[in-house]
A and B are shown apart, each in its own frame.
Chain A
Amino acid sequence: MGVGDYILQGILAFFLGSELFSVFGIPVSINIAMVLAGFLIGIMVGATPGLAGPVAMAISLPLLLSSFGYHASALLPVLGFLIGIMKGATVGGAVPAILFNTPGTPDAYMTTLDGFPMAQNGQAKKALRIAHFSSASGDTFSDLVLFVCAPFLAIIIEAHLDLPEKTALLILSLSFIAAVIGGSPAKGLISTGLGLLAVFIGTGEDFYPRLSLGTDQLARGFPITTAVLGVLILGAIFEGIENLIREKRETGSFSAVPESSDQVLHWADIRRLMPYISRSALIGTAIGALPGIGSTLAATLGYTVGKSRHQKRKSPDDLDFGTGAPQGIAATEAANSSVSGANLIPVLSLGIPGNAAAVFLILAAESIGGFVPGPAVFKFTTDTVNPELVIAFGLFTAMAFANVLNWTIGGLFMRSMGVMIRIPKHMLLPSVLLLTLTAIYIQETRLEAIWFALGFGVLGYAMRKLEISPLPFVIAFILGDKLELSARRAFSASGNDPFFLFSTPIATILMLLAIGVLVYTARKRRLEASA
């Protein structure tokens, strides 16, 4: 099969998946319905302060697995649904930021700076339209980059990287993530180390499960869901409840602002916004392609770059950034939305997740089986069909389809989501906690999983209080096993060379980069501290 055949097969696999119902005799595949459902739920979740995409992905995963089973045919509907949530939440997050000055997520914070003033000026709908247009543009651009880059990157990796280089690459990713997430490389390293330690309990090659203290409970190790959901989601819920106790006040005043007549996004507006959108989309995509940096930095950078350009070029009667400039919304939303697609580049070509959403996609693929994100996916075998490659192009199709949904119905649906702010958080958070624990139990079916998850939740809470980012923990937990296996393999494949990590030029370069990035960020931090 040629490249074109694979792409075609992937598209067909998406659109001709098992039939859900038919419209005028044309069968509608379950995949289409799942992406649509995920997308709409994602917008709702994104628009609800206190919820975000990863929560919805985490909770829906066991239900999806139960509905679709553990077979390759489950991959497209399940991953399609999760991708839908991911994209929907990206769009939905701007709603509370613009309407109520409450960013649903940290990266929507910059959206409030101009979005809320615009809403106060009576242009709420227009602000939402700008946010949607910019977000969808950034997202689409990022996806296109993903479609083109991931296969090539994977092929290059697979052709040039042997076992030692693959190990070195994993080490580089971990050290990069430790160094850049959260601003403190020291805390990043601690978070990474804790994640590694947790995943190494109960695993290993010996028949005695290491570090299990002789107990049966630890002998099977910590289930991945308990660590990931515990640290990421339960930890955040605990912190959220504590914040509620501290605040003890209602947010947002809903005093009605009279709408101004001009709520339409004109071509002239788009022409004016386009330079900001394209710049931010580039920034977001570049940042997204690096594992672990994430959308908040992208939003901040996009906004900052947009602001300096705006100050130089604006006409005297234009509003400044921060006072309701449409360009501010565009720059922020395009940047943070263009992270999500590019973030799948390291996932699909290396199997390395860069953010929480990517973590759940990998989790889903691993639970179902039959699709192992990594360079082997993009093996263009000609005489036999590589089913993983078909799935990969099916996923690309799902993403493209989600983009189509975003452009067509996304804006309309998004603008109707202002009501979600009315759900009180002191009711929402405890309910989501029980929901999450139930979802964990249903996947693991043993009570120990609840205790583990709770323990990780407490850990996640403590890490937040100490401003240790939990994401390096989670990524280390996911990559730890891979890292150990690949080190063992590289070591034995090299004929027991103790310096296998420095046995080839590429491996050496990767290792030096891994050390360099830590030293560099630590030094930078020191300079900041003494400044």
Chain B
Amino acid sequence: MKHTFKMLVGAFALTLMTGEVLAANWSPPGPIKMLIAFRAGGGADTQARLIAEALENKMGWKFIPEQVTGKGGVNMLNALSKQPNDGTAIGMAVTESLGYNLATSKSRLKASDFTGLSTTAGFQLGIIGRTKDGWKTMRDVIAAAKAGKKIRLGTMSPRLADLTYLMEKANGVKFNIVSYRGGIAVLNAINAGDVDVGYVAGPQAKGVKAGDLVELASALSKPLNATPTAPKLSDLGVDFNADGQFVFVGPGGMPAAAQDALGKAIAGIVTDPNQKVAKIIKRVFGGSVTITGKKLDAHLQQGYDDAGKLAKAVSQ
């Protein structure tokens, strides 16, 4: 009886919303390998592992997390592209990896060679400085540079270096750009006095709250949560921004059912306020951002196409 009822409901739902039922019915044919493009122990890696753990508990799927770091996520994407696309292999990176990094690398791969599953969170990406230096916003830093002070600016990706270069050009200044691997490294360099200011994407929250650090500018298209008054890059004469999210993708051509089920499952975890990982995302990254399925595919493609424009602007 129950069984028949279920089937009826199923058939009914199928006519209404094909995707939903496909998602509900899909389960991975074997253990899922989760490639993580971030160094072990950092905030992003913790996020990925916690999501895997939560999915194991909630869905009963089995995950095998593995680190594939390097080349701004391109190494991971390379490895992922060789995995089967039946949903037994997924990878976590940032949208920048599939956009700018893939576009400017000499890789044969394109954003369309991957299946978007779900984003999890955006960044609070800004230019950070020490309170004791007395700068209130990036405009003060630019003024100091104009006055002849040598300013060291820490970046953590080629795209940010490009954006900085455009900012220099727009304002007629020059910084000594020093590149680091990851926002924590930039933050440490700021604290140690190795650089004066630098891009950090979340870990600055504690220091900003304590008053040691100041957010001088937002590198995003919108203001930063903690310092809404900080100018955006567009206010500083840069037509591009560093918007981006953490994103889960699979190899290209993944069946719609798998794409849908995996994407919804991941989004379900990071939007569930009872999950530990959702709390961390809220604290460090300002809340979850979940773009899934075909919408995400389009979003990633957009990022890939925009990268070309930025590269062109820089080469001019």
* B191 pairs with A207, CB closer than 8 A: no
- Within 344-394 of A, Cβ neighbours of B (below 8 Å) are at 366-370, 372, 375-376, 379, 383-384
CA distance A74 to B292 in the complex (A): 33
Knowing A207-B101, A370-B41 touch, does A489 contact B68 (C-beta < 8 A)?
no
- Within 185-221 of A, Cβ neighbours of B (below 8 Å) are at 202-203, 205, 207-209, 216, 219-221
Interface assignment of A401: CB less than 8 Å from any CB of chain B: no
* B41 pairs with A384, CB closer than 8 A: no
**Chain B residues within an 8 Å CB radius of A376:** 188, 191-192
* B210 pairs with A384, CB closer than 8 A: yes
* B179 pairs with A369, CB closer than 8 A: no
* A493 pairs with B194, CB closer than 8 A: yes
**Chain A residues within an 8 Å CB radius of B181:** 485
CA distance A220 to B82 in the complex (A): 14
Interface assignment of B74: CB less than 8 Å from any CB of chain A: yes
From B103-111, B112-120, B303-311, the one touching the partner chain is B103-111
> A468-510: contact bitstring with B at CB < 8 Å (1 yes, 0 no)?
0000000000000000010011001111000000000000000
**Interface size class of chain B, counting residues whose CB lies under 8 Å from the partner chain:** 35 or more
**Chain B residues within an 8 Å CB radius of A488:** 179
* B179 pairs with A158, CB closer than 8 A: no
CA distance A216 to B211 in the complex (A): 46
**Chain B residues within an 8 Å CB radius of A121:** none
Interface assignment of A70: CB less than 8 Å from any CB of chain B: yes
Interface assignment of B64: CB less than 8 Å from any CB of chain A: yes
CB closest chain-B residue, reference A205: B179
Interface assignment of B86: CB less than 8 Å from any CB of chain A: no
* B75 pairs with A368, CB closer than 8 A: no
CB closest chain-B residue, reference A220: B75
* B40 pairs with A367, CB closer than 8 A: yes
Least CB distance, A203 to chain B, in whole angstroms: 7
* B206 pairs with A384, CB closer than 8 A: yes
- Within 34-74 of B, Cβ neighbours of A (below 8 Å) are at 39-42, 45-46, 49, 64, 66, 68, 70-72, 74
Interface assignment of B146: CB less than 8 Å from any CB of chain A: no
Knowing A219-B75, A369-B41, A379-B191 touch, does A69 contact B176 (C-beta < 8 A)?
no
* A369 pairs with B66, CB closer than 8 A: no
Interface assignment of B207: CB less than 8 Å from any CB of chain A: yes
Chain A at the B interface: SS class:
loop
CA distance A370 to B188 in the complex (A): 12
Least CB distance, A225 to chain B, in whole angstroms: 12
Contact of A369 among B42, B71, B194, B195 (CB under 8 A): B42
Contact of A207 among B79, B104, B206 (CB under 8 A): B104
**Chain B residues within an 8 Å CB radius of A7:** none
CA distance A370 to B192 in the complex (A): 17
Interface assignment of A163: CB less than 8 Å from any CB of chain B: yes
* B74 pairs with A368, CB closer than 8 A: no
* A203 pairs with B42, CB closer than 8 A: no
* B107 pairs with A207, CB closer than 8 A: yes
Knowing A207-B107, A216-B78 touch, does A492 contact B40 (C-beta < 8 A)?
no
Interface assignment of A72: CB less than 8 Å from any CB of chain B: yes
CB closest chain-B residue, reference A481: B181
CA distance A202 to B70 in the complex (A): 9
Contact of B39 among A219, A369, A383, A445 (CB under 8 A): A369
Contact of A219 among B78, B206, B207, B211 (CB under 8 A): B78
* B41 pairs with A70, CB closer than 8 A: yes
CB closest chain-B residue, reference A370: B41
CA distance A209 to B78 in the complex (A): 12
**Chain B residues within an 8 Å CB radius of A384:** 206-207, 210, 212
- Within 139-195 of B, Cβ neighbours of A (below 8 Å) are at 150, 152, 176-181, 188, 191-192, 194-195
CB closest chain-A residue, reference B69: A220
A contact set with B: CB distance below 8 Å:
69-72, 158, 162-163, 202-203, 205, 207-209, 216, 219-221, 366-370, 372, 375-376, 379, 383-384, 445, 485, 488-489, 492-495
B contact set with A: CB distance below 8 Å:
39-42, 45-46, 49, 64, 66, 68, 70-72, 74-75, 78-79, 82, 101, 104-107, 150, 152, 176-181, 188, 191-192, 194-195, 206-207, 210-212
A-B contact pairs, 28 of them (CB 8 A): A69-B49, A158-B192, A163-B178, A205-B179, A207-B74, A207-B105, A207-B107, A209-B70, A209-B75, A220-B70, A221-B70, A366-B40, A368-B40, A375-B192, A376-B191, A379-B191, A379-B192, A384-B207, A445-B64, A445-B66, A485-B181, A489-B180, A489-B194, A492-B176, A492-B178, A493-B152, A493-B178, A493-B194
Complex A-B, nearest 5 residue pairs according to Cβ-Cβ distance, in ascending order: A369-B41, A207-B105, A70-B40, A70-B41, A489-B178
